[in-house]
Structure 1
Amino acid sequence: MESLAHWTGREAWALRRALRLSVRTFAERLGVGIRTVTKWEALGAETTPRPFMQAILDTALSTADAGTKQRFELLLRQDGDAPSLDYYRSAPREWDYETWTDDLGRAAACLARQDFKFAASLVDRWLRRFDPRTLDNHGLYLHARSLVLLGDLQRDQGDIQGPLSARQTYRKAQQLFHDLAVPRRGAQVELSLAVVEEMSGQLESAARKYELLAEDGRLSPRDRTRARLWVGTALSKDGENGHAITIMDEAIQRFEELEEPDDWSVAHQKLALAHRGTGDLGTALRHIDVALANRSTDSPMQRVRLDTAHAHILLSDKATSETGLRLLDEAADTSRTFGMSHQLSSIEGIRSVFERAN
């Protein structure tokens, strides 16, 4: 753990504030008098603690948790001042990596509930914080993981084409993981790129990539099974519902063996749409009921996907079309609220087909 090169009263003040301690408690923690701490803070950068006190302050900083160290650095920047170029060009310290890792976990949790704004702020602060040229392999790995989360965010918002799209962001992450020789992460990014191709309407190409990844030893059994399920999804969207059903049935069995309830539920949702494509509405409704009854999360994205799939099936029967339209309206409202443009586009497409047919 690095120590501070030079302590003044200003740095001592920032450490006390970062630790969220009173002057008295801070003095007791350091083993000095209250008047000493008061003097440091009164004189600020004009006073320098004695060498043995510098060592005590070094220890207090080095043993603090990552959040305290992050607050310490932020407090050393004057309130209201933008970070200097040196701040962005500096190499990260150990506690930066700890905080960065924590923020990536928080960003993933935000994405799971479609809190795109906060997720973007957590990821963006680290992508802008360091010049990749200053990063060691640990930092480059975290940079690549940040790019993956940014790609996920862009994908979930429907930004899948163009220079600032999920496709381009994923490609940058893929190159970094390749350079770092992290094959599992690289394969996961390939899977995400195949999803983007499917979302872009390149169904045959996506299906071929899913098929290859379903047999790729770099991926975990769960990810290989997900790739297998998505082969069926691409085939179903392309009208090959009979073949898709066979593949999806196999994926459901595999998810059950792997004890992956969330994926198992999602697979039933996709299988329901494949049966709808064959005209077997009774079986489609049974599978969508299984998916609705077994969803373990109720994120806006999952709610929209389930409601859209359910509505699509209900709209195929005049007797249930009114309920289907209501569900479709609810899914559209949720998509608008959370900025899920790709989902909204799919909903509008389903509605358009229904209106033309009726």
Structure 2
Amino acid sequence: MVNVQQWTGREASALRAALRMSMRVFAEHLGVALRTVAKWEDLGETTRPRPDTQAILDTALARADAHARARFERLVFGGSQADGRTADHETWTEDIDRVIVCLSRQDFTFASSLLNRWLGFHNPRTFDPKGQYLYGRSLALLGDLQRDQGVILGPLSARQSYATARGLFAELDIPRRVAQIELSLAVVNEMAGQLGHSARQYERLAADERLSRRDRARARLWVGTALSKEGNNEYATTVMATAIREFEGLGEPEDWSVAHQKLALAHRGSGDLTRALHYIDIARQGGTIDSPMQRVRLDTAHGHILLSDPATRNDGLSVLDQAARMAQQYGLSHQLRSIEGIRKGQRG
């Protein structure tokens, strides 16, 4: 039977997952506080339970049935002590679903701990095809997390995570996933300032049948975004208007709202502040703002437009300050850099 020499939050979280218990039920099962279990989940291997709790965890593992112990062994040791060619697909899939929710709320700490549970201790080549697929999905989500935090270049970055995921999906012959990763890589290139290159990537993907109609419409919208950043605002507004019609036809209110936000910025870039204010008002009223990221992006765009008119400059600074506070609160580094760039532009 597997033994744990030193329990950390990582092993404790793996035991909870292996027992298929919620955090609340697991806390009751062990007789510890719910906040203790939450701490294990958040801090992972950087936290160690007290000696008396270590003994409680030993007992809980010893009393688990054979299936739960096998799941625990695969979660903690991967290919080093377990078979390694299989994984607990059900638990892994559940964790991926939880990561998606965490990222929508910008809960990066918990999302990272869930992903590292699977990515940090396994070699994907030891998994069966289903496990390799889940590994690729986890890598893509890690790329999303790194991108949202502004870590886009370098060996431990969104670009690296996406590139590795693309290689796995290509080996598994899943064209749709490969194309989705290529779309994410185009976003990274745009964030890195490679506007012409990213615009060409978006334009190609906007006609790529491997992608869904929604993803193709998003690629078309992002063509306009890259062009607008290059100063080609007239053509950008035409492309964005086409994307808006596609989102409307698809019944995608959030994408429709985001597209109006980007269209507003393109009109600001061309000097048409009346249209810019018109479209940013549509964006503010037309979608459900249910995440800090959406709020920060919308407020940043609104503040940028208001700053462009001396009569509304103070209002613009106030809106940008509000966006900066929220970006700071949720660790949205890329958004903070954008806000500071807007402020410097006004000071200059």
Q: Please classify the TM superposition score into its range, dividing by the shorter chain length.
A: 0.7 to 0.9
1:202-238 superposed Cα distances (whole Å, 9 cap, x missing partner): 0000000000000000000000000000000000000
- C-alpha displacement of 1:335: 1.1
1:120-179 superposed Cα distances (whole Å, 9 cap, x missing partner): 011110112432232011110000000000000000000011111100110000000000
- C-alpha displacement of 1:282: 1.1
For 1:220 and 1:325, the matched residues in 2 are separated by: 39
Could you tell me which residue of structure 2 aligns to residue 186 of structure 1? 178
Look up the equivalent residue of 2:154 and give its one-letter code: G
Tell me if 1:198 matches 2:198.
no
Count of aligned residue pairs for this structure pair: 297
Superposed, 1:161-310 pairs within 5 Å as 161-310=153-302
Could you tell me which residue of structure 1 aligns to residue 83 of structure 2? 90
**TM-score normalised according to structure 1 size:** 0.77
Q: 2:143 aligns with which of 144, 151, 176?
A: 151
Look up the equivalent residue of 1:176 and give its one-letter code: L
SS in 2 for 1:152: helix
For 1:61 and 1:146, the matched residues in 2 are separated by: 27
SS in 1 for 2:155: coil
Residues 252, 264 of structure 1: 8 Å contact kept:
yes
Tell me if 1:329 matches 2:321.
yes
Could you tell me which residue of structure 2 aligns to residue 66 of structure 1? none
SS in 2 for 1:160: coil
- C-alpha displacement of 1:334: 1.1
1:245-296 superposed Cα distances (whole Å, 9 cap, x missing partner): 0000010001000111110000000000001111111111111111111221
- C-alpha displacement of 1:89: 5.4
Q: 1:319 aligns with which of 297, 307, 311?
A: 311
Gaps of 5+ in 1: 5-13, 23-43, 46-56, 63-68
Q: Which stretches of structure 1, 4 residues or longer, exceed 3 Å deviation after superposition?
A: 17-22, 82-90
- C-alpha displacement of 1:316: 0.5
Residues 77, 121 of structure 2: 8 Å contact kept:
no
Residues 89, 130 of structure 1: 8 Å contact kept:
no
Superposed, 1:4-19 pairs within 5 Å as 18=19
For 1:229 and 1:173, the matched residues in 2 are separated by: 24
- C-alpha displacement of 1:88: 6.1
Residues 79, 122 of structure 2: 8 Å contact kept:
no
Task: Label 1:259 to 1:84 Cα distance change in 2 as closer, same or farther (>3 A).
Answer: closer
For 1:117 and 1:202, the matched residues in 2 are separated by: 29
Tell me if 1:103 matches 2:103.
no
Look up the equivalent residue of 2:131 and give its one-letter code: G
Could you tell me which residue of structure 2 aligns to residue 40 of structure 1? none
Report which stretch shifted further, 294-303 or 184-193: 294-303
Look up the equivalent residue of 2:318 and give its one-letter code: R
Look up the equivalent residue of 2:158 and give its one-letter code: A
Look up the equivalent residue of 2:141 and give its one-letter code: L
Residues 268, 287 of structure 1: 8 Å contact kept:
yes
SS in 2 for 1:339: coil
Q: CA RMSD in A?
A: 2.9
Residues 123, 146 of structure 1: 8 Å contact kept:
yes
**TM-score normalised according to structure 2 size:** 0.79
Look up the equivalent residue of 2:307 and give its one-letter code: L
Look up the equivalent residue of 1:164 and give its one-letter code: L
Tell me if 1:121 matches 2:116.
no
Task: Label 1:91 to 1:237 Cα distance change in 2 as closer, same or farther (>3 A).
Answer: same
Residues 151, 165 of structure 1: 8 Å contact kept:
yes
- Indicate the structure (1 or 2) with the bigger Cα radius of gyration: 1
Look up the equivalent residue of 2:235 and give its one-letter code: H
Residues 88, 128 of structure 1: 8 Å contact kept:
no
SS in 1 for 2:152: coil
Task: Label 1:274 to 1:83 Cα distance change in 2 as closer, same or farther (>3 A).
Answer: closer
Residues 195, 230 of structure 2: 8 Å contact kept:
yes
For 1:215 and 1:342, the matched residues in 2 are separated by: 29
Task: Label 1:176 to 1:289 Cα distance change in 2 as closer, same or farther (>3 A).
Answer: same
